[in-house]
Structure 1
Amino acid sequence: YIGCFVDDGHRLLRRYAGGGNMSLGKCRHLCRGYKYLGLQYAFQCFCGNYLNHRVYPQSSELQCHMGCTSEPHRMCGGGWRNSVYKAIKNVEPAYSFALEDNLRSSLGIGTTYNLFVRPLAQVNVTVALNIITLNSLSISDQSMSIAGYLTMFWDDQRLDWSQDATYNTNIPAIYSNEEYIWRPALIIENSVRDISIVSDANVLMKVQSSGSVIWTPSGIYITHCETDVTYYPFDTQSCDVIITTWGYTSIEIALYVSQEAVRLEYYKENGEWTYQGFSAFTTSNTREGSSTPEITFTLTFKRRPVFHVLNSLIPMVLLAFLSSMVFKLPPDSGERIGYSLTVLLAYAVYLTIISDNMPSTSSSTSVLTIYLLFVLALGVLSVIITIYVLDCHHKDEQIPVPKWLIKISTSCLAKFACWKDSSCLCGRKVQPYGEATESVPETIEKHSREFNSLTWKDIGQILDGFFLRLYLLVICFMTSILFLTLVIGYYIK
Structure 2
Amino acid sequence: MIFLFFIFVEISAKSYATKENEPEEFLSTEALVYKHILTDYASDVRPGRSKYDGGPIEIMLDLYLFSILGISEKQEQMVTSGYTTQTWTDDRLIWDRDSFNGLSVISTKASDLWKPNLILYNSDDGAFKAYSQETRILIGDLAGGNVQWLPPALFKSSCSMDVKLFPFDRQVCNITFSSSTYDKRDLVFKINGDVTVDNGFMESEWHLKYCPASTSVRTTESGEEFSQHTFSLYLERKPLFWILNIIIPIMLMFFLSAGVFYLPVDSGEKMTLSISILLGQTVFLFLLAQRMPETSLTLPLIALYLLFTMCMVTLSVILSVVVSNVHYRSTSTHMEVLPGWMKRLFILRIAPKVGLYRPNIEGIILPTDNKRRKAHSAANFDDSCFSADSDPADFPAPRSSKAKPLAKELKPAIEAIHFITEKLRLEDEQEMVEEDWKYIALIIDRCLLYIYSAVCLIGTLVIFAQRRMTTEDPNWMQDKLCYTCINFPETDGC
Distance 1:315 1:489 in 2: 28
Distance 2:76 2:115 in 1: 32
Checking the alignment, whether the CA contact within 8 Å between 2:123 and 2:156 is kept in structure 1 is yes
Distance 2:27 2:327 in 1: 101
1:192 matched residue in structure 2: 124
Q: Does 1:481 align with 2:462?
A: yes
Instruction: Determine which of 105, 124, 127 is the counterpart of 2:35.
Output: 105
Distance 2:457 2:182 in 1: 61
Matched residue SS, 2:244: helix
Superimposed CA distance per residue, residues 450-493 of structure 1 (whole angstroms, 9 cap, x where no aligned partner): 8x978321221122111111111111112222343335679879
Percent identical pairs in the alignment equals 27
Instruction: Determine which of 336, 345, 351 is the counterpart of 2:270.
Output: 336
TM-aligned CA deviation for residue 408 of structure 1: 6.6
Distance 1:407 1:148 in 2: 76
1:124 matched residue in structure 2: 58
TM-aligned CA deviation for residue 246 of structure 1: 0.3
- Residues 304, 198 of structure 1: alpha-carbon distance in 2 compared, 3 angstrom cutoff: closer
Superimposed CA distance per residue, residues 229-273 of structure 1 (whole angstroms, 9 cap, x where no aligned partner): 222222222111011110210101011221x33111354222321
Matched residue SS, 1:264: strand
Q: Does 1:464 align with 2:464?
A: no
- Residues 408, 226 of structure 1: alpha-carbon distance in 2 compared, 3 angstrom cutoff: farther
Q: Does 1:298 align with 2:232?
A: yes
- Residues 217, 447 of structure 1: alpha-carbon distance in 2 compared, 3 angstrom cutoff: farther
* Higher share in helix: 2
TM-aligned CA deviation for residue 303 of structure 1: 1.7
Distance 1:345 1:231 in 2: 25
- Residues 296, 335 of structure 1: alpha-carbon distance in 2 compared, 3 angstrom cutoff: same
Q: Which TM-score applies when normalising by structure 1?
A: 0.69
Superimposed CA distance per residue, residues 97-142 of structure 1 (whole angstroms, 9 cap, x where no aligned partner): 52222222221x1x41011111124110010111011100122221
User: Which ranges of structure 2 fall in alignment gaps of 5 or more residues?
Assistant: 1-24, 368-431, 479-494
Checking the alignment, whether the CA contact within 8 Å between 2:121 and 2:177 is kept in structure 1 is yes
Q: Does 1:449 align with 2:366?
A: yes
Distance 2:165 2:181 in 1: 41
1:232 matched residue in structure 2: 166
In the TM superposition, 1:88-487 aligns within 5 A as: 97-107=27-37, 109=38, 111-120=39-48, 121=51, 122-161=56-95, 163=96, 165-167=98-100, 170-198=102-130, 202-209=134-141, 210-258=144-192, 260-287=193-220, 288-398=222-332, 399-401=335-337, 403=339, 409=346, 414=351, 417-420=354-357, 448-449=365-366, 455-486=436-467
Structure 1, 113-122 or 169-178: larger mean CA deviation: 169-178
CA RMSD of aligned residues (A): 2.9
Distance 1:402 1:421 in 2: 16
Checking the alignment, whether the CA contact within 8 Å between 1:269 and 1:275 is kept in structure 2 is no
TM-aligned CA deviation for residue 199 of structure 1: 5.2
Matched residue SS, 2:111: coil
Structure 1, 395-404 or 182-191: larger mean CA deviation: 395-404
Distance 1:164 1:140 in 2: 56
- Residues 192, 408 of structure 1: alpha-carbon distance in 2 compared, 3 angstrom cutoff: farther
Checking the alignment, whether the CA contact within 8 Å between 1:230 and 1:364 is kept in structure 2 is yes
- Residues 413, 375 of structure 1: alpha-carbon distance in 2 compared, 3 angstrom cutoff: farther
2:375 matched residue in structure 1: none
Aligned AA (2:301): V
Distance 1:473 1:199 in 2: 57
Distance 1:171 1:472 in 2: 80
Higher relative contact order (CA 8 A, sep 6+): 2
TM-aligned CA deviation for residue 355 of structure 1: 2.5
Distance 2:112 2:469 in 1: 56
- Residues 105, 376 of structure 1: alpha-carbon distance in 2 compared, 3 angstrom cutoff: same
Superimposed CA distance per residue, residues 393-448 of structure 1 (whole angstroms, 9 cap, x where no aligned partner): 122244315747667756986576444389xxxxxxxxxxxxxxxxxxx99x6685
Distance 1:245 1:349 in 2: 47
Distance 2:470 2:259 in 1: 31
1:5 matched residue in structure 2: none
How many pairs align?
A: 373
- Residues 301, 280 of structure 1: alpha-carbon distance in 2 compared, 3 angstrom cutoff: same
- Residues 198, 486 of structure 1: alpha-carbon distance in 2 compared, 3 angstrom cutoff: closer
- Residues 247, 380 of structure 1: alpha-carbon distance in 2 compared, 3 angstrom cutoff: same
User: Which ranges of structure 1 fall in alignment gaps of 5 or more residues?
Assistant: 1-94, 423-441
1:20 matched residue in structure 2: none
- Residues 488, 193 of structure 1: alpha-carbon distance in 2 compared, 3 angstrom cutoff: closer
In the TM superposition, 1:28-39 aligns within 5 A as: none
Checking the alignment, whether the CA contact within 8 Å between 2:69 and 2:204 is kept in structure 1 is no
- Residues 487, 410 of structure 1: alpha-carbon distance in 2 compared, 3 angstrom cutoff: farther
2:415 matched residue in structure 1: none
Matched residue SS, 2:29: helix
